[in-house]
Amino acid sequence: MSLIGKKVQDFKAQAYHGGDFKEVTLDSIKGKWSVFFFYPADFTFVCPTELGDLADNYAKFKEEGAEIYSVSTDTHFVHKAWADASETINKIQYPMIGDPTGALARQFDVMIEEEGLALRGTFIVSPEGEIKAYEVHDAGVGRNAEELLRKVQACKFVHEHGDQVCPAKWTPGAETLVPSLDLVGKL
């Protein structure tokens, strides 16, 4: 069953953010675009490459009014230790949510129960708390922050211009489509 259109349910989690521990809740994400970026575990191999890529592109997400929340089943204490130990992770400016009970991973249907870890799941959530796009990868397949940013931009555009849709490879400023009978079979 698809998660598109599903509303994020109430949650409360601790995050490592800005050198401090902060609580993140459903109310924290409402009113802005959010990206939940699940990954298997701290101190691993592919994960720091992805989180570093997000950190390098974080300002672009903020320009779009989107907040990134990286999430693993580690605790927020482990996130801090990882930031202290790794130059790549230390440059992260977005909240790193600890999900040691797997509650968020289960809510987003990315929990690997037998391992206690999350799959690589990326979820774009509207300001109303509704999942608008998602992608789930096997643990060995890393993601691309620039492509994720393009998807956030497309979700925002469609949300703001309900009569238009974004074709393949659409980027801001490119031509969009207005679905109509006249387009059927012509593209």
Task: Tell me which residues are annotated as active site.
Answer: 47
Contact status, residue 129 vs residue 136, Cβ threshold 8 Å? no
Pairwise CA distance, residues 164 & 14, whole Å: 38
Pairwise CA distance, residues 119 & 40, whole Å: 6
Q: 107-146 burial, b for 16+ CB within 10 Å, e for fewer?
A: bbebbeeeeebbbbbbbbbbeebebbbbebbebeeebebe
Residue 147 CB contacts under 8 Å (≥ 6 apart), including other chains: none
Neighbours of 156 (CB within 10 A): 19
